[in-house]
């Protein structure tokens, strides 16, 4: 092969203009037409699920189940005949969906064998409070709607969901973000595995109440998306109505570049991953547009473009990697030279887009293909020549070899052809799965908006003005207002995230107002000392931050200085039942008056000076402070003591 | 006119729509005290209140606007929904069996109109092919809508019409008949057709769905494929109910019309053969017989249609302390037959005896069936049972209560003669009474028992 795919990859990467995020500026993103919006999912803190009386928040291990059952998701007619070709292709390959059910946390409702019970009123109320706080226009009547999912993540094939409000607004420190809507919905299954034709889910999380806040695509750079997401989560948490911890909050991030398409990066668990993911996605779309332009320039007949394929098992089954394969097919992609090895994301090229679709749509596990522009191919140059000859390929073409069971081959060829045809038009609408390194892979074709229909099993729920007015009375203050207060107090910005993400603002103001502690000091105490202690010491249960308020109150009442609080934190976390008195005893804390402590000074000074001719005052001070520190903490402010020394 | 423009709206909501000249299907922009809302006005369900207007917003969701919050509304466009299903020709394949599908009103296949959320039944071969293209690999299909009623409204009139239609179709020549049916009374119809259509040369398959086909997880498509396969290819020439075996999408079961019963209000696997095993298992590849003896498919057209049905038969579900006037009232109302559904082995309390005697004297035909569903009526064990028999109640063996009601109605449609009635009732047409209950005929597993839980874990439910 005279064609050098490695250098093609590098050259295309340059052409795309890819830069690491650290080197990117607002100009970089403006040039690409960066656009992004969010769909932030947040589980509500309720004892029961949304449409049945199973407990919410009880999870189990993959293998801890009482029953399994199987479903196949069938595209409904409008998708079948009319537009969603991929859904049909996927259906033809027959994915078997297995659901694992644990009797403790799932009943016959979850698996769609019993109609829904009336909506969980506690969940609805909690979601409405968040909707009000998000300044949304609250609907007059809640209509439960079914939203179709064909991936099996919901056994019914649809999710029950309802809009609570539309057209809201979220004020960030830097700008205002418009909200499209907020909905309440049931959470989906958790995937256990997806291999070949079998996908396995567990149903513990299924049906838990969840809200989804959807923003307009108002974000103009990756960091802004993260900030926006954090704020939505802070707002949700400020109500105390939501679950926290792993998986309780997840977001889908929509990204597009100028001329690109809406691509949804699904299920991002941490907001800190958002910047890298959106950065890479906007470049990937930019690259796909360049591939389109390159192909448009090279191909004579774009409309009539199609692949040709031929069996090559006789040529290639001698390769150790392929000797066991049932069917081996070579596909020729006319005029695609240079496209397969075109840069798309760090570590990925266009061919990877095809390979992942083969896995998802044709159910062929990776590695599922080889291609003529791989950096290292299992085929020798000689083998490629034989394949190209059999395909009657021209120099301007590229080739893909796929291997699979006979049954999956026709879908596989269709899948390759479809993806290549999409390359001729630009960026396909799709959902993508994210990785921690900031790259993504194809997950599913993005379903259209036309997959909603009324839930005939549920009656509409009216929300009258009286009810909403009452809810309005109990709302916490806006996060942005709290933010402004922190600024006023002169609190260091680096502790804001911790304060808002743990919803500490109400406790902080309580400590400030009721005990009269310096606000800046309290914020720093939470942002550094408490954060460190909670991160390093393990208690029997989640730490209740309310204890800190009681601690400060106790210290104040005993006339002990607040500096002792830090030392008490580990015990406080590890033994939540222990009273403050006992904690102090266990720390060997003794009460000394200021006078008692200061009375030790002369003796210590003398001791330090013993045998020394020149006495450095700083050294002396440090030495004396060191000696007194343990008995001083709690009894006298260290700064005061330092002055005396 | 209003009905068409303001579908389902009444009272306050209707007045507002009229005032602002906004129609159903109109694109609307509404100013309210809660902010503005935009979307397409949808029809309102008749039973919902008059305080809300339903719109579909751009993201596809439906919401209601409280009329009391509306400040103003404006229609900004209009597009009426189109309810038509796109049809494709059902392909004819030489060599495949000819199957006739009778529609009775239950929707097995349907298409969803996303704009309106309406479920449109798919019924013509072309529509069905669009919904379940796999059917074309199973049979050549013809369809005929016999009537359109909900399952719960199926009754004597419909049984008679169906029986006659079946007779006609068999005379014309067909390889099998499928009847699409709502599931609630599928087993009543199964029994009625078994009695009315005797000496069948071809399979008659009753099929429905527990989950409507607008949902991706529906059992409709698979049930339909199984039913078409059973009708066209099975050699079991009997009236059968074809529905899911387990709740999983794995296989279907073919039940005799006389021994099947709906046992769960919402499960997919709700139909069970009671007191016996089903006729066969069926999947997309094969039909696996369970019972060895059944009526075989024949080439002749000699079906015997017996379209009789009396509407003077009732059922009496006994409860402790039931007063005799309940029976007197039935007799006074002119009922000619009573199916008792008794406790245990077939009992009612002594206080009813005088009323039973009075009924017997008036020539009322009375049969005993069981609340236990499983098992045989056995009235010799206790004196009370013998008393009751002496007073004219005839034990109906292990005939299911609903089946006994259907059968007595059918019998009384033919004769009034007590001996003849008794003979017809107790002579099984097709296993409505069986001579023996096999050990796997009664299986009601109890969860929590270790071996049962183990079984449930190991085998797909
Ligand atoms: Zn449940």
CB-based contact A573:A534 (threshold 8 Å): yes
Choice among B104, B116, B183, B194 that is catalytic? B183
Distance CA B349, CA B387 (A): 11
**Longest Cα pair distance anywhere in chain A, in angstroms?**
100
Q: Tens digit of pLDDT for each residue in B418-444? A: 999 999 999 999 999 999 999 999 988
Name the residue among A70, A103, A453 with its Cβ closest to that of B248. Answer: A70
Query: Chain A, 481-500: which have a CB under 8 Å from a chain B CB?
Result: none
pLDDT category, B403, cuts 50, 70, 90? very high
A429 within domain boundaries: yes
A453 within domain boundaries: no
DSSP A48: B
Inter-chain CB proximity A70 and B249 less than 8 Å: yes
Contacts (Cβ under 8 Å, ≥6 apart) of B38: B27, B28, B29, B30, B55, B57, B58
Provide mean pLDDT across the span A508-530: 92
Assess whether A371 and A486 both reside in one domain. no
A302 touches chain B (CB under 8 A): no
SS3 at position A27: helix
Residue B83 has pLDDT above 70, yes or no: no
Name the residue among B48, B59, B110 with its Cβ closest to that of A180. Answer: B59
Residue A558 has what pLDDT?
84
A451 within domain boundaries: no
Provide mean pLDDT across the span A440-445: 92
Domain boundaries in chain B? 2-78, 98-305, 313-426
Cα-flanking dihedrals φ and ψ of residue A309, to 5°?
A: -140, 155
Q: Tens digit of pLDDT for each residue in B34-44? A: 999 999 998 88
Q: Which domain holds residue A318?
A: 5-12+296-439
Residue A80 has pLDDT above 50, yes or no: no
CB-based contact A252:A434 (threshold 8 Å): no
Distance of alpha carbon B300 from the chain centroid: 30
Of the listed ranges A8-22, A138-152, A613-627, B130-144, the least confidently predicted one is: A613-627
Token pair of B114 as six digits: 């996303």
ipTM of the complex: 0.91
Provide mean pLDDT across the span B192-204: 98
Assess whether A63 and A203 both reside in one domain. yes
Q: Tens digit of pLDDT for each residue in A302-338? A: 999 999 999 999 999 888 888 888 899 999 999 999 9
Residue B153 has what pLDDT?
81
CA–centroid distance, A197 to ligand 1, in Å, is: 27
Taking CA–CA distances from A461, the nearest residue in chain B reads B64
Assess whether A37 and A156 both reside in one domain. yes
Token pair of B74 as six digits: 């404006």
pLDDT category, A150, cuts 50, 70, 90? confident
SS3 at position A589: coil
Residue B112 has what pLDDT?
60
Instruction: Quote the number of domains for chain A.
Output: 3
Name chain B contacts of A77, Cβ cutoff 8 Å. 85, 110-112, 122, 130-131
DSSP A290: H
Rg (CA), chain A: 31
Assess whether A544 and A415 both reside in one domain. no
CB-based contact B215:B453 (threshold 8 Å): no
Residue A81 has pLDDT above 60, yes or no: no
A269 within domain boundaries: no
Block residue for tokens 């559904």? B341
Number of other CB atoms surrounding residue A546 within 10 Å? 11
Residue A497 has pLDDT above 80, yes or no: yes
Alpha helices in A17-96 (DSSP H): 26-32, 77, 85-92
Provide mean pLDDT across the span B372-380: 92
Inter-chain CB proximity A452 and B60 less than 8 Å: yes
First to last CA, chain A: 81
Residue B314 has what pLDDT?
98
CA–centroid distance, A97 to ligand 1, in Å, is: 19
Residue B1 has what pLDDT?
46
Query: Chain A, 137-156: which have a CB under 8 Å from a chain B CB?
Result: 137-143, 145-150, 155-156
A451 touches chain B (CB under 8 A): yes
Burial of A176 (0-12, 13-18, 19+ CB in 10 A): exposed
Q: Tens digit of pLDDT for each residue in A85-109? A: 556 666 766 789 999 999 999 999 9
Choice among B40, B67, B104, B107 that is catalytic? B107
Taking CA–CA distances from A455, the nearest residue in chain B reads B117
CATH 1.20.58.220, applies to B313-426: no
CA–centroid distance, B211 to ligand 1, in Å, is: 18
Is B183 among the residues known to form the active site?
A: yes
A278 within domain boundaries: no
pLDDT category, B110, cuts 50, 70, 90? low
A280 within domain boundaries: no
- Average pLDDT value for chain A: 91
A113 touches chain B (CB under 8 A): yes
Q: Sign of dihedral through CA atoms A499, A505, A507, A513?
A: positive
pLDDT category, A439, cuts 50, 70, 90? very high
Inter-chain CB proximity A76 and B37 less than 8 Å: no
Alpha helices in A372-456 (DSSP H): 381-390, 406-425
Share of chain B above pLDDT 70, in %: 94
Burial of B100 (0-12, 13-18, 19+ CB in 10 A): buried
Of B179, B181, B226, nearest in space to B204 by CA: B179
Mutate to test the interface with B, among A60, A67, A106, A459 (most CBs of B within 10 A): A67
CB-based contact A241:A130 (threshold 8 Å): yes
pLDDT category, B114, cuts 50, 70, 90? low
- Average pLDDT value for chain B: 91
Residue scoring higher pLDDT (B321 or A75) = B321
Token pair of A38 as six digits: 């969010």
CA–centroid distance, A233 to ligand 1, in Å, is: 27
Left if phi > 0, otherwise alpha if psi is -120 to 50, otherwise beta: which for B451? alpha
Block residue for tokens 């080197």? A23
Residue A89 has what pLDDT?
61
Assess whether A389 and A525 both reside in one domain. no
Provide mean pLDDT across the span A610-626: 78
Inter-chain CB proximity B461 and A140 less than 8 Å: no
A246 within domain boundaries: yes
Cα-flanking dihedrals φ and ψ of residue B166, to 5°?
A: -65, -45
Name chain A contacts of B133, Cβ cutoff 8 Å. 80
Prior bond of A367 cis (ω within 30°):
yes
CATH of B2-78, one of 3.40.50.300, 2.30.30.520, 1.10.490.10, 2.60.40.10: 2.30.30.520
Mutate to test the interface with A, among B216, B218, B226, B263 (most CBs of A within 10 A): B216
Cα-flanking dihedrals φ and ψ of residue A122, to 5°?
A: -60, -45
- E strand or H helix that includes residue A297: helix A274-298
DSSP per-residue codes, B422-452:
HHHHHS-SSSSS-S---GGG-----TTSHHH
Name the residue among B69, B213, B456 with its Cβ closest to that of A67. Answer: B456
Mutate to test the interface with B, among A74, A106, A449 (most CBs of B within 10 A): A74
Alpha-carbon distances of B449 from A65, A101, A303, B453, B459, rounded to whole Å:
16, 17, 64, 6, 16
Distance CA A425, CA B296 (A): 59
Is B107 among the residues known to form the active site?
A: yes
pLDDT category, A1, cuts 50, 70, 90? very low
Taking CA–CA distances from A144, the nearest residue in chain B reads B62
Of the listed ranges A408-422, A608-622, B358-372, the least confidently predicted one is: A608-622
Report the DSSP pairing between strands B280-282 and A327-333: unpaired
Q: Could you say which of A381, A416, A439 is where a domain stops?
A: A439
Query: Chain A, 43-82: which have a CB under 8 Å from a chain B CB?
Result: 65-78, 80-82
pLDDT category, B267, cuts 50, 70, 90? very high
DSSP A623: H
Distance CA A551, CA A537 (A): 18
Name the residue among B34, B221, B247 with its Cβ closest to that of A74. Answer: B221
CA–centroid distance, A203 to ligand 1, in Å, is: 9
Torsion of CA A279, A281, A285, A291, to 10 degrees: 100
Name chain A contacts of B461, Cβ cutoff 8 Å. 67-69
DSSP per-residue codes, A191-258:
EEEEETTEEEEE-SSTT-EEEEEEE-S-B-SHHHHHHHHHHHHHHHHHTT-B--STTTEEEEEEEE-T
CATH 3.40.50.1170, applies to B98-305: yes
Q: Could you say which of A385, A407, A439 is where a domain stops?
A: A439
pLDDT category, A83, cuts 50, 70, 90? very low
Nearest 5°: the CA angle B327, B331, B337 is: 90
Choice among B56, B256, B262, B407 that is catalytic? B262
Residue B404 has pLDDT above 80, yes or no: yes
CA–centroid distance, B449 to ligand 1, in Å, is: 21
Q: Could you say which of A262, A287, A312 is where a domain stops?
A: A262
CA–centroid distance, B268 to ligand 1, in Å, is: 17
A273 within domain boundaries: no
Q: What contacts 24+ positions apart, CB below 8 Å, involve B35-41?
A: B35/A136, B35/A137, B35/A166, B35/A167, B36/A137, B36/A167, B37/A137, B37/A139, B37/A166, B37/B63, B37/B65, B39/B63, B40/B79, B40/B115, B41/B17
pLDDT category, A183, cuts 50, 70, 90? very high
Share of chain B residues as helix, strand and coil, in percent rounded to the nearest 5: 30, 25, 45
Report the DSSP pairing between strands A263-268 and A430-434: parallel
């Amino acid at each position: 092969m005279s064609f050098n795919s490695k250098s093609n990859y590098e050259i295309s990467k340059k052409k795309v203009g890819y830069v690491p995020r650290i080197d990117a500026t607002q100009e970089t993103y403006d040039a690409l037409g960066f656009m992004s919006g969010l769909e932030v999912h947040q589980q509500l803190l309720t004892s029961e699920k949304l449409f049945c009386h199973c407990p919410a928040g009880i999870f189990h291990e993959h293998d801890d189940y009482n029953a399994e059952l199987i479903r196949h998701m069938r595209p409904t007619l409008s998708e079948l005949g009319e537009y969603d070709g991929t859904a049909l292709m996927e259906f033809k390959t027959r994915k078997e969906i297995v659901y694992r059910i644990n009797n403790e946390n799932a009943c016959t409702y979850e698996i769609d064998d019993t109609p829904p019970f009336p909506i969980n009123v506690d969940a609805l109320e909690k979601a409405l409070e968040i909707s009000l706080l998000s300044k949304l226009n609250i609907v007059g009547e809640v209509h439960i709607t079914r939203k179709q999912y064909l991936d099996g993540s919901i056994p019914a094939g649809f999710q029950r969901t309802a809009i609570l409000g539309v057209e809201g607004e979220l004020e960030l420190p830097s700008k205002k973000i418009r909200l499209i809507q907020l909905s309440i919905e049931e959470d989906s299954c958790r995937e256990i595995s997806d291999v070949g034709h079998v996908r396995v889910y567990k149903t513990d999380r299924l049906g838990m109440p969840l809200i989804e806040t959807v923003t307009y695509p108002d974000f103009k750079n990756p960091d802004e998306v993260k900030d926006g997401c954090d704020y939505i989560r802070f707002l949700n948490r400020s109500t105390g109505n939501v679950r926290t911890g792993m998986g309780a909050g997840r977001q889908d991030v929509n990204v597009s570049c100028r001329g690109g398409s809406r691509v949804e990066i699904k299920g991002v668990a941490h907001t800190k991953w958002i910047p890298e993911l959106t950065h890479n996605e906007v470049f990937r779309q930019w690259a796909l547009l360049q591939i389109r332009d390159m192909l448009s320039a090279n191909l004579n007949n774009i409309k009539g473009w199609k692949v040709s394929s031929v069996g090559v098992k006789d040529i290639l089954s001698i390769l150790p990697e392929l000797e066991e394969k049932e069917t081996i097919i070579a596909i020729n992609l006319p005029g695609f030279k240079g496209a397969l090895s075109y840069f798309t994301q760090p570590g990925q090229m266009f061919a990877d887009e095809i390979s992942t679709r083969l896995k998802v749509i044709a159910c062929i596990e990776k590695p599922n293909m080889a291609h003529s522009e791989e950096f290292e191919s299992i085929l020798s140059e000689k083998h490629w020549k034989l394949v190209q000859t059999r395909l009657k390929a021209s120099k301007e073409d590229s080739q893909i070899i796929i291997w699979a069971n006979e049954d999956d081959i026709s879908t596989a060829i269709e899948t390759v052809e479809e993806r290549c045809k999409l390359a001729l038009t630009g960026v396909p609408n799709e959902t993508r799965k994210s990785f921690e390194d900031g790259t993504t892979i194809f997950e599913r074709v993005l379903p259209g908006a036309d997959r909603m229909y009324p839930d005939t099993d549920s009656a509409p729920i009216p929300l009258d003005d009286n009810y909403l007015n009452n809810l309005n009375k109990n709302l916490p203050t806006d996060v942005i207002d709290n933010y402004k207060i922190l600024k006023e107090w002169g609190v260091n910005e680096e502790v804001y995230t911790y304060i808002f993400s743990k919803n500490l603002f109400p406790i902080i103001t309580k400590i400030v107002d009721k005990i009269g502690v310096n606000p800046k000091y309290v914020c720093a105490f939470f942002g550094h000392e408490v954060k460190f202690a909670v991160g390093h010491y393990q208690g029997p249960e989640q730490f209740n931050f309310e204890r800190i308020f009681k601690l400060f109150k106790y210290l104040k009442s005993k006339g002990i200085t607040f500096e002792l609080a830090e030392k008490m934190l580990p015990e406080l976390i590890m033994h939540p039942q222990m009273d403050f008195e006992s904690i102090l005893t266990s720390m060997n804390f003794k009460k000394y008056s200021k006078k008692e402590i200061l009375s030790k000074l002369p003796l210590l000074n003398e001791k330090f000076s013993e045998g020394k001719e020149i006495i450095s005052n700083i050294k002396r001070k440090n030495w004396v402070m060191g000696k007194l520190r343990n008995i001083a903490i709690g009894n006298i402010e260290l700064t005061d003591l330092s002055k005396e020394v | 006119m209003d009905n068409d423009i303001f579908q389902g709206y009444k009272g306050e909501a209707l007045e507002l729509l009229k005032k602002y000249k906004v129609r159903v299907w109109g694109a609307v922009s509404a100013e309210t005290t809660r902010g503005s809302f935009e979307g397409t006005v949808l029809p309102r369900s008749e039973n919902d209140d008059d305080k809300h207007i339903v719109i579909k917003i751009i993201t596809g969701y439906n919401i209601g606007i409280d009329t009391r919050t509306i400040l103003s509304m404006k229609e900004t466009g209009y597009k009426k929904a189109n309810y038509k299903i796109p049809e494709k020709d059902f392909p004819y394949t030489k060599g495949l069996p000819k199957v006739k599908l009778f529609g009775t009103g239950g929707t097995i296949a349907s298409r969803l109109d996303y704009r309106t959320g309406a479920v449109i039944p798919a019924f013509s071969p072309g529509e069905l092919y669009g919904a379940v293209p796999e059917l074309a690999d199973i049979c050549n299909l013809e369809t005929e809508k016999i009537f359109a009623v909900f399952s719960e409204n199926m009754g004597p009139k419909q049984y008679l019409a169906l029986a006659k239609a079946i007779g006609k179709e068999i005379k014309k020549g067909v390889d099998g008949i499928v009847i699409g049916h709502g599931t609630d009374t599928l087993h009543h119809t199964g029994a009625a057709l078994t009695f009315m259509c005797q000496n069948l040369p071809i399979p008659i398959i009753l099929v429905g769905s527990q989950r409507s086909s607008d949902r991706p997880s529906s059992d409709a498509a698979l049930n339909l494929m199984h039913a078409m396969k059973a009708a066209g290819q099975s050699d079991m020439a009997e009236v059968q109910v074809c529905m899911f075996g387990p709740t999983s999408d794995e296989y279907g079961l073919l039940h005799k019309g006389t021994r099947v019963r709906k046992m769960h209000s919402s499960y997919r696997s709700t139909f069970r053969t009671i007191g016996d095993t089903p006729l066969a298992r069926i999947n997309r590849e094969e039909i696996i017989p369970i019972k060895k003896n059944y009526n075989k498919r024949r080439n002749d057209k000699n079906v015997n249609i017996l379209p009789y049905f009396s509407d003077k038969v009732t059922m009496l579900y006994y409860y402790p302390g039931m007063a005799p006037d309940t029976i007197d009232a039935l007799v006074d109302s002119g009922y000619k037959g009573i199916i008792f559904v008794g406790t245990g082995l077939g009992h009612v309390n002594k206080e009813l005896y005088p009323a039973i005697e009075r009924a017997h004297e008036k020539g009322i035909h009375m049969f005993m069936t069981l609340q236990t569903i499983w098992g045989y009526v056995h009235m010799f064990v206790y004196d009370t049972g013998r008393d009751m028999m002496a007073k004219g109640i005839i034990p109906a063996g292990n005939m299911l209560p609903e089946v006994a009601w259907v059968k007595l109605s059918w019998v009384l449609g033919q004769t009034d003669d007590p001996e003849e009635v008794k003979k017809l009732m107790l002579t099984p047409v097709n296993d409505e009474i069986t001579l023996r209950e096999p050990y796997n005929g009664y299986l009601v597993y109890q969860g929590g028992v270790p071996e049962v839980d183990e079984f449930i874990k190991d085998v797909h439910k």
